[in-house]
Amino acid sequence: MDGKKDRIPVVENMDEWGERFEAGWLAYVKQNVVGVPDASPDWDLYKGARNRQTPAGKGIDLSKSRLLLVSSAGGSLISANQPFDAEHVISDPTIRAFPASTPLSDVRFDHTHYDHAAIDVDSQVQLPLRHLEDMAADGTIGELTDNVVNFSGYQPDIRIIANEIAPRILDAAREEKADAALLVPA
């Protein structure tokens, strides 16, 4: 996971996107939501990013590869991690890494912007650690990295993803000596 060759931006025209974001969605939030109980962002003002280019890369032999699981479900260790600030109207840009061998009952999911009905019953609908262990045991995957990386997926400001969260995940992937990553979004 070198990431240096033929690097293309996470989002093309980021400056232009940022200007629209600040003048639209963010301006509304600052004026009408921050500090106002029960107020919500106006999602009609939110415009997503659009890329024309797609990054290229060689396929890998998964059976000989070390896989990093990345989850945006906001998982954190009940006993050891600070919860994510999931109710922050702009972003919690931090990540949490904890052992991939962690019992799922030791993980809480702080991200509040999705329905927790399924994950409360079976965490593997979003954090498939036991399935991936099984796949490593049967040879489908070479091995799992020691740790799984988690962040809270409510991230309206794409600049924060590109400039803060993605670099932290990439650093973690390098530390874990990962050959590939699987993102399970929430």
Partner 1 sequence: MTRPTAPPRAVYTKLNTGKMLGAPGDHAQQRRVLEATLGLLAKDAPTPALKLGETCD
Token output for 132: 């991936």
**Residues in 6-35 at the binding interface with partner 1, rule: CB under 8 A:** 11
Regarding 115 and contact with partner 1 (CB under 8 A), the answer is yes
**Which residue lies nearer to partner 1 by CB, 74 or 93?**
74
Distances (CA, A) of 120 to 109, 126, 139, 181: 9, 10, 30, 25
3-state SS assignment for residue 152 = strand
Q: Which stretch binds partner 1 (CB under 8 A): 31-39, 118-126, 142-150, 164-172?
A: 118-126
**Which residue lies nearer to partner 1 by CB, 132 or 165?**
132
CA-atom Rg of the chain in angstroms:
18
Query: Which of 41, 59, 101, 129 contacts partner 1 by CB under 8 A?
Result: 59
Token output for 150: 């988690």
Query: Which of 97, 132, 148, 149 contacts partner 1 by CB under 8 A?
Result: 132
**Residues in 73-112 at the binding interface with partner 1, rule: CB under 8 A:** none
DSSP single-letter state for residue 147: E
